Amino acid sequence: MITLSGIRFSYDGREQTLFKDLSLEIPAGSMTAILGPNGAGKSTLLHLVLGLLKPHAGTIRLDQRRRHSYSRRELGRLVGMVSQTDVIPFSFTVLEYVLLGRAPYLNVLALPGEEDVRIAEWALERLGLTDMARRTTDTLSGGEQQLVLLARALAQQPRILLLDEPTAHLDLGNKGRVLRIMEQMVADGVTAVFTTHEPDLVAAAADYVVLMRAGQTLAAGALADVFTSENLSRTYDVPVTVAHVDGRRVVLS
């Protein structure tokens, strides 16, 4: 579903090249985790896939088409993103903000219709946020805002969902809720890609794993093949042990 070939990228003003020859394939219908320490290039990779950043060289294909061949509307219907750094600039109600996810389906200057409102309300219900629909976004806590961002992405109905540290600001209960929503979306045919620096989250949720360090892909493949003590030790440059406890993978360091 996502293919990167020979990607080269560096930020303006920085001499060091972050990605020198990055090539990667993300399987369709997978729950893919991009795991690595801070500064590995995880968020940058998602921004390149979405088109917020442009590679200096190489190609990015989404569903076998070059990303730049999609119109903005087509891309909005194909790819949704939940960012950890999103700032809501105005005081919307929660329902109004979630309705922004319907923008790729509306004509210019058109208002959301009854079907758009129904889908937005469905997204809020899926995340247990129905009672918050009339609250304003400037009253939300960090964790609540993260859930609202995911609701907006649900309302967008994308086939590819990118999530940057999706559980970073959430308590245990809401973390479990988000993981269940992600799993259901994948079961419905969505390709989900999330970044994290938490190996335990990967062990609990992912079926495909990409290990990154300093702009390089150290390993990529099925969880059972890639999520090993040796690979995680290379990724974090410290001794890491992957143990099996009651049929679950547990990370010890």
Which of the 8 DSSP states describes residue 110? P
Q: What is the pLDDT of residue 196?
A: 93
Angle of the 172-187 helix axis to the 142-156 helix axis, nearest 10: 10
Quote the Cα angle for 155-157-158, to 5°: 130
Could you tell me where the beta strands, DSSP code E, fall in 114-179? 160-164
Q: What is the pLDDT of residue 13?
A: 61
Name all domains of the chain by residue range, CATH numbers in brackets.
Answer: 2-252 (3.40.50.300)
Beta strand 191-196 with 160-164 is parallel
Query: How many other β-carbons are positioned within 10 Å of the β-carbon of residue 237?
Result: 10
Which tokens sit at 220?
């990529």
CA–CA distances in Å: residue 74 to residues 53, 65, 103:
18, 12, 11
Q: What is the pLDDT of residue 5?
A: 97
Give the whole-angstrom CA distance, residue 131 versus residue 121.
Answer: 10
* pLDDT tens digit at each of 253 positions of the chain: 999 999 999 987 666 789 999 999 999 999 999 999 988 999 999 999 999 999 999 999 999 999 999 999 999 999 999 998 677 777 899 999 999 999 999 988 888 999 999 999 999 999 999 999 999 998 998 888 889 999 999 999 999 999 999 988 788 888 888 999 999 999 999 999 999 988 999 999 999 999 999 999 999 999 999 999 999 999 999 999 998 887 788 888 7
Is residue 120 a contact partner of residue 97, using CB atoms and an 8 Å limit? no
